[in-house]
A and B are shown apart, each in its own frame.
Chain A
Amino acid sequence: MTLVIVLVVAVVLAVSGGLVVGTRSRRRGAALPEDGAPHPGAPQPTVPVTTAAETETSPTLEVEAGRPVLRDRLGRARGLLAGYFDQVRGRKAIDEATFEELEEALILADVGVTTTTRVLGDIRDKLRSGVLSATDPPALLQALQDDLISMFEGDVESLAYADGDGPTVWLFVGVNGVGKTTTIGKLALREMQSGRGVVLAAGDTFRAAAGEQLESWAERAGARIVRGSDGADPSSVIFDAVQHAASRGAGLVLADTAGRLHTKVNLMDELRKVRRVAERPPGQLTEVLLVLDATTGQNGVVQARQFTEAVGVTGIVLTKLDGTAKGGVVLAIRSELGLPIKLVGVGEAPADLVPFDPVEFVSALFG
């Protein structure tokens, strides 16, 4: 409270007069009611809506056969990095300059200084101990690749379904504009196709028209959707979606949430509550997926840490990887937080959301 008082006075002093009274804009994430389902006294904000397409009518899907190869998709954007590695490959011997080149390449891939230094330190050790020969650059590159691939060893890349009766719940979180809603739309299409009943929970009640965006995906996938009114409590929407799924016997609830910067305390609190509600029986929360934009730099690590602290992230969805040769920040995230990468988005089409393959990812990085 002291801080608040000091601030008020400070700002009064700082401003000797205002010019315009700002129009009142929408407030969000104010005081949260305590943990739990929407309290009965409040006006029921959510209205279950089912899409026109019933679950039985199997929609025509534009998922082509064969999954896209990461390397092809990345080919267009990858030139710069490949150039670095080719240069190293062509060298006669490994010297300090080689390491500098490697360091630059990794940093340009957004791997980050800490992880880069650590990985290259390991290579230096191998060189010193004679495991690697100083005159064999291709072997060094191979060792580096292997090291990076081994970082993902033991990860479970598949998404978990609940084994009990209740519907499986996957919760999607992340900062603004990373592609949460789009990822959910594409996953809905995929899961519907594999025969699961899917209910989408339009938990982004903040961003204008986020519900409409998800609804058009629901229509496309033939999935059901539960929406709340704008500004409704997201946990209540998700609560309703789980109930709806349970009563209709749908097996999977994909819960969207509003994008939020991990620095906003109140919004992260809101997310904690969303998680608590999503966990409630009959729903079984098996995945909390952090959606991460592949163009994100080192802030991705901070995001992953904060979201993990708040809601226990179980895996990462790396989107928009086709636009960038990088996504190297997931290496930093993997090494610092041990989070597995579960899905990778390599294009606009629904089929372009594919399971993560470390070998493919790392070798695509190296060209």
Chain B
Amino acid sequence: MFDTLTDRFDAIFTRLRGRGRLGDAEVAEVLREIRVALLEADVNLAVVRALIEAIRVRCTGAELAKHLTPAQQVIKVVNEELTATLGGEALKISYASKPPTVVLLAGLQGSGKTTASAKLARWFRQQGRHPYLIGADLQRPAAVEQLRVLGAEIGVGVYSEPTDPVSVARGGLAEAQRLGRDVVIVDTAGRLAIDRELMDEVRRVSDAVRPNYTFFVVDAMTGQDAVQTAEAFHQALQLDGIILTKVDGDARGGAALSVKQVVGRPIAFLSTGERVADFETFHPDRLASRILGMGDVLSLIEKAEREYDEEVTGQALERLQAGTFTLDDFLDQLRQLKKMGPLTGLLSLMPGVPKEMRDAKVDDRDVGKIEAIICSMTPLERTDPTVLDGSRRLRIAHGSGTSTTEVNNLLRQFKEMQKMMRGIGPMAKLMGGGRPGNPSKSSKGTRKKVKGGRITPSSRGLGPTR
């Protein structure tokens, strides 16, 4: 999502990089560029002004560090200011001492409340809780039905009745207590912030269930208006956090900055895709890094941790290092990778992926082809591809509905990859890869491993390498 903003900063700083030092004129130009970039990213005007002022003061002020070039310094300042604006710490959910913990979701129409409710329920279940969903959106036709379908999909009960939102909420809460559920998520109807009647209604729903957490659900594509809307909802409901949705698009997501700034509550979750698994907790420092083109490998790893089978991946890593990684292992891993969503999204999370590669359309259909090719091989062929002669290859091509060229391609690339991995295997071990399958590795160690594994052609950090 924040790619486009990243690109803009990239362009500005490429020009900046050639210069020895920053004069007042340069500072003004850079600020002007940053201002435009932020405005184009839909960051609210008032927020942009505050940010620019803070950056100006720090850039022209005395805070000059000797070991950084002016360009690096500006990047550092911008990064710090963005991080500060996006909010200090990530939100930590503390559960009510007397369950259930009640969570209320509110927002404009179409911001993604119902989907977010289900995703949040799934998230709570992954935290070992027993969530329960209340469908209090009686406005939109079939909204409750949608929640029921999603609830069934994730195995969470849904309560609703065709009365009015307040009684639904009250009834649902009582039912949750009866069932002994410890988390209750209330989905409400979308409403405009200026609609007094409906804002009043959601306040009454809130009064009825006394939520421990009230989340404002906001579309990452929202424009300048995000601020007014957030303000109105905050006034009515006293928000505790923000759920940013549709983050998987290419919106620059300035709304996140604005809303955060206005409401002063943390962005708690990001909704990053259409599948219920596409949901993650928000980390301001990571997002700021991502805006500056540093990738977000931590989120990637967390996502992988949730979706990957620990044991299988651990074994795969061992074999990869030992050079005995087979096509079968590869297939296992490919299937796990598939669970994580479209590959293009994954690429954008890897740090140091060059812009051209980030933009490269990874064709998800290739995955299907590769799967088909490997599945058309016999067990022997999968462990020892050297037995594959022309006639076997032709059979595989026929069996998988591909061509021999594609089969050959896959085999050649797989071989090259094996060769490459054999070379770096020991190194990966050195960098902390010696504990494959360790479930609670420190994220730092993992990040190093990525670098050690030379996945990243160049690490584009903030350091003096820049």
Question: Which A residues are closer than 8 A to B by beta carbons?
Answer: 1-28, 30-31, 76-77, 80, 104, 107-110, 112-114, 175-179, 182, 185, 206-213, 215-217, 230, 261-266, 293, 295-300, 302-303, 320, 322-326, 328-329
Contacts and interface: CB of A to CB of B under 8 A. Distances in A.
Interface in B312-341: 313-314, 316-317, 320, 330, 333-334, 336-337, 339-340
Given A208-B146, A299-B252, A14 B455 contact: yes
B239 interface: no
Contacts of B367: 4
Contacts of A320: 108-110, 192
- Most B CB contacts (10 A, CB to CB) among A12, A113, A217, A298 go to A12
Contacts of B195: 323
Contact of A18 (B140, B313, B350, B365): B313
A8 B421 CA distance: 12
Contacts of B228: 77, 80
A8 B455 CA distance: 11
A84 to B, nearest CB: 11
Nearest to A213: B142
Contacts of A10: 350, 450, 453, 455
B423 to A, nearest CB: 13
Given A110-B225, A113-B39, A213-B140, A302 B250 contact: yes
Contact of A296 (B223, B363, B364): B223
A324 B229 CA distance: 9
B261 interface: no
A212 B36 contact: no
Contacts, number: 292
B153 to A, nearest CB: 7
A1 B141 contact: no
Contacts of A110: 42, 223-225
A18 B308 contact: yes
Nearest to B453: A13
Contacts of A23: 154, 277
Nearest to B140: A213
A216 B249 CA distance: 30
Nearest to B278: A25
B143 A209 contact: yes
A113 B252 CA distance: 14
Q: How large is the interface on B (under 10, 10 to 19, 20 to 34, 35 or more residues)?
A: 35 or more
Contact of B450 (A5, A13, A265): A13
Smallest CB-CB A-B distances: 5 pairs: A297-B223, A177-B110, A18-B308, A297-B42, A208-B149
A25 B275 CA distance: 7
Contact of B275 (A26, A104, A302, A323): A26
Contacts of B417: 5-6, 9
Given A176-B110, A265-B363, A13 B449 contact: yes
16 contacts: A1-B413, A2-B413, A16-B437, A17-B305, A18-B309, A19-B306, A21-B308, A25-B153, A107-B39, A216-B141, A293-B219, A295-B229, A297-B222, A320-B109, A322-B194, A329-B223
Nearest to A267: B274
Given A13-B449, A16-B314, A263 B250 contact: yes
Q: Is the interface of B mostly helix, strand, loop or mixed?
A: helix
Interface stretch (B22-30, B160-168, B283-291, B428-436): B428-436
A297 B254 contact: yes
B40 A112 contact: yes
B433 to A, nearest CB: 7
Contacts of B307: 18, 20-22
A302 B246 CA distance: 15
B426 interface: no
A110 B363 CA distance: 34
B142 A210 contact: yes
A17 B149 contact: no
Nearest to B340: A11
Contacts of B453: 10, 13-14
B48 to A, nearest CB: 9
Contacts of A6: 417, 455
B413 A11 contact: no
Given A4-B362, A265-B361, A298 B41 contact: yes
Contacts of A207: 146
Given A18-B308, A299-B252, A323-B108, A266 B365 contact: yes
